[in-house]
Amino acid sequence: MFEYLVKRVATLLPTLLFVSVLIFGLQQLLPGDPAKILAGEDQDPQVVAYLRARLHLDEPLPIRYARWVGGVLQGDLGESVRNQQPVTGLILQKLPVTVELALLAMAIALAIGIPSGIVSAVGRGTAWDWAANAFALWGISTPNFWLGILMILLFSVQLGWLPASGYVSPFEDLGANLAAMIMPAFVLGNAIAAVLMRHTRSAMLQVMSADYVRTARAKGLGERTVVLKHALRNALTPIITLGALELGTLLSGAVLTEQVFTIPGFGKLVVDAVFNRDYAVVQGVVLVTASAYMLLNLLADLAYFAVNPRLRR
């Protein structure tokens, strides 16, 4: 397993380098000049020239890329041209909010999607199967922003149970934090739960007809043991893959959901940076997101060893 881990890390490094080239190169294709935007409406040529020199925009592209990569290797993602703050500090401010929202949403998705997928597969053709499939179809078809608005109207406006928007740090008030995060987390988790349910059902139906499952039943094992210990464990591989990808998507920032509930996470940060032509912030957020995807895929590969003994051999 250690040898496999070393090989996977060795393949991640050139991939991350290639991703950094794409991030920096494609960023330059965005329309607009940050120096002219910062110069204001007058756009005095001397001020624009000064700003371009200060932001190193007058240097050749390879030199600017090398300068940026050198800073990244030292933990310096540059400085925001809009508010003159380090990008690393801005990301560290927003990252805990997005991580909390992503983990809560994924917990809700796992708690709903996997059990409903198991019940649907075990009771194939029954009313439970139809109900689970109807839930999955509803979850996949419902837009997140529409569901979020409906939940605000019901639980905030009509019932007054939960705050309509805003964010409170869990270190300040844990109860207020959970009250503010439960609705956006459910909105995000609902859609992922529907996808997880479909994949869990498909994987369970495939393994339930396998020889080892029939052998376990022939030995007289209980149905719960057969389903949870023998069938589910072997069906977890595609579920782990999907879970890692969905968690990476959540960490990249749920833009619409964060906008609806006014959550100050990655989504709002990157949207503001794009509109303000704040290249350093966009590059930093995308690089952190890409790194998170790679790390989650690595953890998913390691999780395969835990659920599938054949890989350990």
Q: In degrees rounded to 5, what are phi and psi of residue 86?
A: -60, 140
- Residue predicted with more confidence, 313 or 231: 231
Query: Residues of the chain with pLDDT > 90: what percent?
Result: 2
Among the residues of the chain, which ranges form H helices? 2-27, 34-39, 45-54, 61-73, 87-122, 127-141, 144-151, 174-208, 211-218, 223-225, 232-251, 255-261, 266-275, 279-307, 309-312
User: How many CA atoms does the CB half-sphere of 160 hold within 13 Å?
Assistant: 0
pLDDT tens by residue, 265-274: 887 788 778 7
Q: List the structure tokens of 29.
A: 């294709």
pLDDT tens by residue, 161-173: 888 887 888 888 8
pTM: 0.80
| Contact indicator for 174, 209 with CB cutoff of 8 Å | no
Alpha-carbon gap, residue 121 to 109, rounded angstroms: 18
Nearest in space to 245 (alpha carbons), one of 280, 289, 309: 289
| Contact indicator for 228, 121 with CB cutoff of 8 Å | no
- Residue predicted with more confidence, 28 or 194: 194
Residue 237: which residues within 8 A CB-CB, separation 6 or more? 203, 304, 307, 308
Alpha-carbon gap, residue 193 to 140, rounded angstroms: 9
Q: Which amino acid appears at position 135 of this protein?
A: F
Q: Which amino acid appears at position 215 of this protein?
A: T
Q: List the structure tokens of 141.
A: 């078809």
Segment 137-166 shows an average pLDDT of 85
| Contact indicator for 268, 95 with CB cutoff of 8 Å | no
- What is the set of domains in the chain, with CATH numbers? 100-267 (1.10.3720.10)
Distances (CA, A) of 114 to 23, 121, 200: 35, 11, 6
DSSP state of 81: T
Given a cut of 80, whether residue 58 has pLDDT beyond it is no
Token pair 């000064």 in the structure block, residue: 50
Q: List the structure tokens of 163.
A: 């705050």
SS3 107: helix
pLDDT tens by residue, 204-245: 888 887 777 777 777 777 777 777 777 777 778 888 888 888
Give the confidence band of 107 by pLDDT, cuts at 50, 70, 90: very high
| Contact indicator for 12, 302 with CB cutoff of 8 Å | no
